[in-house]
Structure 1
Amino acid sequence: MKRSLTVLALTVAAVTAGGLWYVQGKRPVRDGELALAHLQAPVTVRYDERGVPHIAAQNEADLYRALGYVHAQDRLFQMELMRRLARGELAEILGAKLVDTDRLFRTLRIREHADAYAAGIDRNHPAWQAVQAYLDGINQYQASRPLPVEYDLLGIQPRPFTIEDCLSVAGYNAYSFATALRSNPLLTYVRDQLGPDYLDTFDVAWHPDGVIDRPSLAREDWRTLGALAQLSLGAFEGNGLPQFEGSNAWVVSGTRSASGKPLLAGDPHIRFAVPAVWYEAHLSAPSHELYGHFQALTPFAMLGHNRDFAWSLTMFQNDDLDLIAEKTNPDNPNQVWYQDQWVDLESRDDTIRVKDADPVTVTLRRSPHGPLVNDALDSSLRGQTPIAMWWAFLETENPIVEAFYSLNRADTLDKARTAASQIHAPGLNVIYANAKGDIGWWAAAKLPRRPAGVNPAFILDASRGEAEKDGFYPFEDNPQEENPARGYIVSANYQPVSPAGIDIPGYYNLPDRGRYLNQRLGEATGWDLQNTQALQLATGTDYPQRVLQPLLADLRAAAADEAEKALVERLAAWDGRHELDSVPASLFNQFLYELARAAMADELGEAYFATLLNARPLDFALPRLAADADSPWWDDRATPTRENRAATVKAAWQATLAHLRGQFGDDPDGWAWGKLHSLAQGHPLGLQKPLDKLFNLAPLAAPGGHETPNNLSHKIGPAPWSVVYGPSTRRLIDFADPAHSLGINPVGQSGVLFDTHYSDQAERYIQGNYQPQHLAEDDVQAHTEGMLRLVPAG
């Protein structure tokens, strides 16, 4: 027995030592010296207390080559997964369950467009030279260092990263902005299957005459469109990768700040994931210095600042994607009607490689208006009517790489404006400030000229000319402001106004968040880092009272006893703040879901109702529905009687209490927001048990909520609520002292499992803390915890 125990102990020790050796070998190298080919001179990389690299190089080529190397150290698997998702190649490493997602992205033609675009670029342009140096750094890391544990688990065979991969990821980012594949089928279904009285609730203009008419869609086509909406949503939910959802940004001039200098705040709202979407890095060379936030396979910061200027981004949310019902030739299903004649569809086969299974061949078709999105679905779900997709990303020059190269160097209003004008798709709001005192905002996108009366919120009828475009509006017609007299600019995804008065259809968010920020900024001066933090972390919104006020009489009548009446009065008196101890926040959010279900699920059916819960039109619809006692939505089609608003509100109230009591007990104190609303950040491999225990972060109680300034937002649905998206970083730059800006990462800088910086910021983030973003040399020196020297090889 003694001998057996000794053998067991030695075995355990050997396994433990082997495990520690394995884990240690995967960690980033942040101290010492490494040789890197193609460097012209040594590069110093100093790592601070958060694992942020401060890269000092003697020229820009070395700077970007070093950035690629250190970015890959921390985020190589994220890069791999992003390029595979964008190019429709996930099934090759994840198996047959990802074939549908791959088919979707092949259908979107992102991969094909990226390959064609790459073939035509000027590789001598300094932007593309920087991209090539960055990619060389990534590829040298991948070829010379141990691969991430995810590669081992999935059996990924490494291959070099390319310019085509970078462009494909840019295409994925553009697609993640567009909600047309989800909202257009839904709104068209309401219009054509339910009618104008139902559509009125969504505040979408109804056009019974004129240019707009209804495309002829068969019953099978509605199933096709519903399946397409669900597939589009599942591509984000099922892969644990970022999706852009909204954002806050504002800038105040020196006339309203405490310091007399501009102050910029920004927090882009993106679906949460591990690792975080942004990679922070401080770049320094004789010709260029920037503290930037970078995305995977993107060498230019999408958010950044230095001592001279700073910018942030929000989603413009202009509608840059049309779905178009094509008219087919009854004698030839491979022809569609275009410009007064039948024309052939383009068609080609593509092959999806599948792990542990045979390859899948997909046929991709295109009409003159764009790819046919029916091809994203299994053949049994494609319906009768070809649905084409016109997408500005595929139809514009879109020099977005050059645009961000220039924006990273835009130390004047003129340079920033010029850079913004080069962003064609996706639509982005660029919010800018500089040390000279200028502030500005440009809604950057190529806006198409659609026929008069055409509403792209619906499926368009190709046979009537609704899908045709007469070019694009000039950039000067885009919404924009420079140095406004009021002394501040707010951007929060609401409908902007064009200086030329043109209509700009879009998928805009509720105005409540922007209105809240605008009111606070407009009524106060003396803005500094402290009170700007408080505004960025605010949890209030006027939206609950916009929904509740018209319903209070019905809610009071629905209350069954004194305890329920007390709960109704707590709702009536609630200020809309989603604090951790708030019971009304939980009551309202459960009631919001039950109200939507009681009113709308019977008309829409479960598939389209599920789409509605994930679509922005619901946010606009619910206050309008609550205020309209005569809306046809109040009737329950499943009963022989005709229900009114009071009956439906009562049913929703009873369902609200039944759910909360059944799930969380009878005591309302147990329903506090922080007990029901949490942020659990997940890794793509954490979707699979038991890997969730290894890769995912434990849930943390989350303040804020849907469309509050601290937009820790959940899907409208039954409690408990998991936060889906929110501030992907919070940044504050005061030009009184831009070298001492503040920021925070929702997780950590590193994507390497067991690394010190894998999740070291998660608790500080949810608690509303900020961390210094070191820019000044003395600060960088004082906070250096590791120094890596990259030296020329050979």
Structure 2
Amino acid sequence: MKPPRTFLRRLRKVALWALGVVVVLAIVATGLGVWSVRRAFPTQDGTLSLPGLSAPVTVKRDGHGIPQVFAKTADDLYRAQGYLHAQDRFWEMDFRRHVTAGRISELFGASQLDTDKYLRTMGWRRVAEQEVGLLSPQAQQGLKAYADGVNAWLAANTEKKGAGFAASGALSLEYSILGLQNSDYVVEPWQAADSLAWLKAMAWDLRGNMETEIRREALKAEGLTVEQVEQLYPAYPVDRNVPIVPGGAVVNGAFDQNAKGEPTTSAPKADTVPLPAGGLMDLADGLAKLPGLMGNADGDGIGSNSWVISGKLTATGKPILANDPHLSPSQPGIWYQMGLFCECGLKVAGFTFSGVPGVVIGHNDRIAWGFTNLDPDVIDMYLEKLDGDKVNVDGAWEPLTTRQEVIKVAGGQDVTITVRSSKHGPLLSDASESLKKLGGQYGLAIRWTALDPGRTADALFSLNKAKDWTEFRSAASLFEVPAQNIVYADVDGNIGYQSPGRIPVRGAQGDGRWFAQGWDSKYDWTGYLPFAELPSVFNPEQGYVATANQKVIGDQYQHHLTDDWSFGYRSQRINDMIKAKSGITLDDVQQMQFDNRNGFAPTLIPVLQADQRAGRSKVEQDADKLLQGWDFQQGEGSAAAAYYNAIWRNLLLLTFDEIPADYAPDGGDRWFEVVRALLDKPDDPYWDVKSTSAVEKRDDILVRAMSDAVKELSEAQGEDVSQWRWGAMHTLTPTHATFGESGIGPIEWLFNEPAAGVSGGDSIVNATGWSAGDGYEVDAVPSMRMIVNLADLDDSRWVQLTGNSGHAFHDNYFDQFELWRTGQLLPFRFGTDKETEQTLTLTP
């Protein structure tokens, strides 16, 4: 299936927006434009009042608008953080909470009803509201203080309107645009559950193999045999791409990193469900409409890199920790950089989410940490047998639970939906007409760990305060969804890795790879893996830990995490680069983060070069020479990278024409492994192009893919192959999350930035992902890059995709992009004045 265009990019113009063209043109053409744009810019120097503080708070910003906040108490600190997030990013915060609550139609009208129905059916906001009371008193107080800070900013910058606040351009330019369509919108006060609901969006975008499970069933329904489908999902190449944890097993109820263990021999329980004909493509399309606020979980390319190197391998003798999460690109970027310091003892800095208190990724004065997606199988799709409002359970009929949800629609009538749930979870098949094509006697329920209330917010607060490995692991034990790989380092020289998360234990039947039979309790989950038994490692003998969404641990590990890993090309490249150096410096690590080497090219190119095509034109001969001696680095200026990737895309589309267009290969490292196996099978049926009468073999397809690539590039970039550029086709367009594809040129001009060529590619350390089914444009990026120097925390480095500000035309709206694009980093200061350019005092 094509990587889903996130909901954020599906907003379409409505009739009233024709007025927007006139208004925006008027703004641009007159002096009114400057005032309209700048009136929402925050005050960042001088003094402002923040009611509720116990003492003044000092905010020091550098030239990139990154604040370091100094407060007396934790309450003051979180109150100030809420205020500052609102200053720079309130539109983003407000939009996110509408998404997570299934209330997008309140903003944009009936066009978003289908999305709201899915979100209300799953009930993210309902679960978040239940979680507030489960948290520790300290976390609840932190959330309240943060919300009070947001609401203080609203009260100071707009008028009260009923129980809420007037939506106006004084808050952000986006509200001026929204007012053209929805002039009655009122901004509600911020609540603790608004912050917690954002964690559900994070969990959804990093949810694991849900789409893979659906694809397997859909491909089988389209006529592929189970064997053909399994060919497209090969086993992880553990002999070539090493797992994260080098060894270990569960011993006496706890993971022991030194235990040998025995290889597990149980075969996957791949019982498949006898599905009714049709419906699965509609299911996939329906799910593709759901919002992807952070990432694109449908593609194989989403992931992250992190690694930590011990002092015995570094030039300073102390650890270096690096992290770059790979998420969907947006404008503004997903992260907000910030430092938080208080007399209470909390000193922490790093990347935050607007709308959530604390720091998500970064370091305090003792430890540093980074995240990548563990990607375990935490969702199962259950096909349920239904009879009206009853569901079959082991041959007996039980009532479904039901609730009603009222969806308010801007400019329209309220819509009421009935949400039905089995014991496995809500019936997604009730959310849209397309899913009902499964047939009235069947329903499809989703069992997902994030729909059980949890305490992940406690983990974030605890992680920010942790001082050593023991406290770090205690905090990690609370991190339930999404399950993550967490790398660790401390100023004492220790490094480590922990895999936390709520990971299900399945019953006697089902392995999460195919739909489960809801009518048979043998497919039910029986519990969750104990935290003590999850893989971890402390000060490994090899002196480093590298995670890039690869297999966590070898087959000696007794528990099943998933079968659908990233295939380890990024992680192995990181391993190889670390092992190739001694006395590693921050500059070395920065170069590693921007490494552009294609890990599959060394396998495919010799096969391509073995074919000496007869009758090649001069441009084809010149193109083939580009691959001779190529270092496999995909810099934006590389002609060889342009040619190679054009061959790769054409090869995939030709070879896998059996697969419906919506499921076209994305070209990530799963497809590296699929094609690697096919290269040794020149007569495999997959090589045959179904649309021709001939029976093609491997070499026929290779020749045609090369010729098609030359034709494509010649038409796009000319016949002088020396002028071909990877960056001319591999482009990134920083697009505003809500109005960036409105369909109205002047509005898009206000918020978007021009397309730019970038280096890297899919399943490369510099992971600028793209999908072969769609083209070469970037659809996933290293959303930020961070390098923490545990020898001198003030000498760390960082950058994010666009900038800290969410206000279009602000100096900090897009000021980090060129640094990010070219692999450069900013100084990551920790409580010092070295970069301070503006000082704001918040007074009680």
User: What is the TM-score with the length of structure 1 in the denominator?
Assistant: 0.91
Give the Cα separation in 1 of the matches to 2:267 and 2:346.
57
Give the Cα separation in 1 of the matches to 2:95 and 2:380.
28
1:686 has 2:710 as partner: no
Q: Answer yes or no: is the 8 Å Cα contact 1:548–1:626 preserved in 2.
A: no
| Distance 1:83-1:252 versus aligned 2 partners, 3 A rule | same
Aligned runs of 1:235-314 on 2, under 5 Å?
235=292, 245-286=302-343, 287-314=345-372
Amino acid at match of 1:194: L
1:575 — aligned with what? 631
Select between 274-283 and 641-650 the one with higher mean Cα deviation.
Answer: 641-650
Select between 400-409 and 697-706 the one with higher mean Cα deviation.
Answer: 697-706
Deviations 1:396-428 (A, max 9, x none): x53111011111011100011111111111111
Equivalent residue for 1:173, pick from 202, 206, 209: 202
| Distance 1:194-1:18 versus aligned 2 partners, 3 A rule | closer
Q: Secondary structure at the match of 2:47?
A: strand
| Distance 1:246-1:15 versus aligned 2 partners, 3 A rule | closer
Cα shift at 1:642: 2.9
Deviations 1:524-569 (A, max 9, x none): 221111111111111113222334444544x534773454244335
Give the Cα separation in 2 of the matches to 1:306 and 1:446.
26
1:54 — aligned with what? 68
CA-atom RMSD in angstroms = 2.8
1:784 has 2:796 as partner: no
Q: Secondary structure at the match of 2:354?
A: coil
Q: Secondary structure at the match of 1:284?
A: strand
Amino acid at match of 2:592: L
Q: Secondary structure at the match of 1:650?
A: helix
Q: Secondary structure at the match of 2:327?
A: strand
Give the Cα separation in 1 of the matches to 2:811 and 2:79.
24
Q: Secondary structure at the match of 2:486?
A: strand
Deviations 1:154-204 (A, max 9, x none): 134211111221121110110000253422121123345311331232235
Q: Secondary structure at the match of 1:326?
A: strand
Cα shift at 1:208: 14
2:662 — aligned with what? 607
Q: Secondary structure at the match of 2:708?
A: helix
2:495 — aligned with what? 439
Amino acid at match of 2:804: Q
Q: Secondary structure at the match of 1:267?
A: strand
Cα shift at 1:639: 3.3
Select between 468-477 and 53-62 the one with higher mean Cα deviation.
Answer: 468-477
1:461 has 2:507 as partner: no
Give the Cα separation in 2 of the matches to 1:32 and 1:209.
66
Aligned runs of 1:101-112 on 2, under 5 Å?
101-112=115-126
Equivalent residue for 1:149, pick from 170, 173, 183: 173
Deviations 1:252-310 (A, max 9, x none): 11111101111111111111111111111111111211112111211021112133211
Give the Cα separation in 2 of the matches to 1:208 and 1:501.
10
Q: Answer yes or no: is the 8 Å Cα contact 2:375–2:483 preserved in 1.
A: yes
Q: Secondary structure at the match of 2:68?
A: strand
Aligned runs of 1:696-715 on 2, under 5 Å?
696-715=752-771
Give the Cα separation in 2 of the matches to 1:379 and 1:582.
44
1:188 — aligned with what? 217
Cα shift at 1:665: 2.2
Q: Answer yes or no: is the 8 Å Cα contact 1:590–1:718 preserved in 2.
A: no
2:412 — aligned with what? 357
The gaps in structure 1 that reach 5 residues or longer are 1-11
Q: Answer yes or no: is the 8 Å Cα contact 1:182–1:228 preserved in 2.
A: no
Equivalent residue for 1:542, pick from 594, 599, 602: 599
Q: Answer yes or no: is the 8 Å Cα contact 1:589–1:716 preserved in 2.
A: no
Amino acid at match of 1:606: A
Give the Cα separation in 2 of the matches to 1:179 and 1:311.
22
2:677 — aligned with what? 624
Aligned runs of 1:461-500 on 2, under 5 Å?
461-465=517-521, 467-497=523-553, 500=557
Amino acid at match of 2:143: V
| Distance 1:552-1:170 versus aligned 2 partners, 3 A rule | same
Q: Secondary structure at the match of 2:843?
A: strand
Amino acid at match of 1:283: L
Cα shift at 1:74: 0.4
Cα shift at 1:129: 0.6
Give the Cα separation in 2 of the matches to 1:786 and 1:351.
46
Give the Cα separation in 1 of the matches to 2:412 and 2:615.
58
| Distance 1:463-1:521 versus aligned 2 partners, 3 A rule | same
Q: Secondary structure at the match of 1:730?
A: strand
| Distance 1:275-1:596 versus aligned 2 partners, 3 A rule | same
| Distance 1:361-1:150 versus aligned 2 partners, 3 A rule | same
Give the Cα separation in 2 of the matches to 1:636 and 1:259.
57
Give the Cα separation in 2 of the matches to 1:550 and 1:340.
56
Which is richer in helix?
A: 1
Select between 578-587 and 310-319 the one with higher mean Cα deviation.
Answer: 578-587
Equivalent residue for 2:41, pick from 27, 32, 39: 27
Q: Answer yes or no: is the 8 Å Cα contact 1:307–1:739 preserved in 2.
A: no
Give the Cα separation in 1 of the matches to 2:595 and 2:823.
10
Equivalent residue for 1:134, pick from 129, 146, 150: 146
Equivalent residue for 1:648, pick from 701, 710, 722: 701
Cα shift at 1:100: 2.1
1:4 — aligned with what? none
2:182 — aligned with what? none
Amino acid at match of 1:202: L
Give the Cα separation in 2 of the matches to 1:53 and 1:209.
53
1:225 has 2:283 as partner: yes
Q: Answer yes or no: is the 8 Å Cα contact 2:570–2:764 preserved in 1.
A: yes
1:764 — aligned with what? 819
Amino acid at match of 1:712: T
Select between 707-716 and 195-204 the one with higher mean Cα deviation.
Answer: 195-204
Aligned runs of 1:37-76 on 2, under 5 Å?
37-76=51-90
Deviations 1:429-486 (A, max 9, x none): 1111000111011111122111356331222222344531121121122221111011
| Distance 1:645-1:757 versus aligned 2 partners, 3 A rule | same
Amino acid at match of 2:839: M
Q: Secondary structure at the match of 2:369?
A: strand
The gaps in structure 2 that reach 5 residues or longer are 1-25, 158-169, 180-184, 237-264
Q: Secondary structure at the match of 1:724?
A: coil
Q: Secondary structure at the match of 1:757?
A: coil
User: What is the TM-score with the length of structure 2 in the denominator?
Assistant: 0.86
Amino acid at match of 1:419: A
Give the Cα separation in 2 of the matches to 1:13 and 1:590.
43
Q: Answer yes or no: is the 8 Å Cα contact 1:257–1:526 preserved in 2.
A: yes
Q: Answer yes or no: is the 8 Å Cα contact 1:516–1:541 preserved in 2.
A: no
Give the Cα separation in 2 of the matches to 1:461 and 1:551.
45
1:202 — aligned with what? 232
Select between 703-712 and 495-504 the one with higher mean Cα deviation.
Answer: 495-504
Give the Cα separation in 2 of the matches to 1:556 and 1:237.
45
Q: Secondary structure at the match of 1:790?
A: strand
Q: Answer yes or no: is the 8 Å Cα contact 1:101–1:235 preserved in 2.
A: no
Give the Cα separation in 1 of the matches to 2:662 and 2:434.
19
1:409 has 2:465 as partner: yes
Q: Secondary structure at the match of 2:689?
A: coil
Q: Secondary structure at the match of 1:301?
A: coil
Amino acid at match of 1:135: A
2:650 — aligned with what? 594
| Distance 1:536-1:381 versus aligned 2 partners, 3 A rule | same
Select between 338-347 and 40-49 the one with higher mean Cα deviation.
Answer: 338-347
Cα shift at 1:340: 4.1
Amino acid at match of 1:755: H
Select between 153-162 and 100-109 the one with higher mean Cα deviation.
Answer: 100-109
Q: Secondary structure at the match of 2:391?
A: strand
1:88 — aligned with what? 102
Give the Cα separation in 2 of the matches to 1:736 and 1:465.
54
Q: Secondary structure at the match of 2:58?
A: strand
| Distance 1:464-1:86 versus aligned 2 partners, 3 A rule | same
Between the two proteins, the alignment pairs up a number of residues equal to 765
| Distance 1:391-1:702 versus aligned 2 partners, 3 A rule | same
Cα shift at 1:107: 2.4
Q: Answer yes or no: is the 8 Å Cα contact 1:369–1:389 preserved in 2.
A: yes
Q: Secondary structure at the match of 2:148?
A: helix
Amino acid at match of 2:741: L
Deviations 1:733-757 (A, max 9, x none): 1122112211112211101122111
Give the Cα separation in 1 of the matches to 2:667 and 2:407.
29
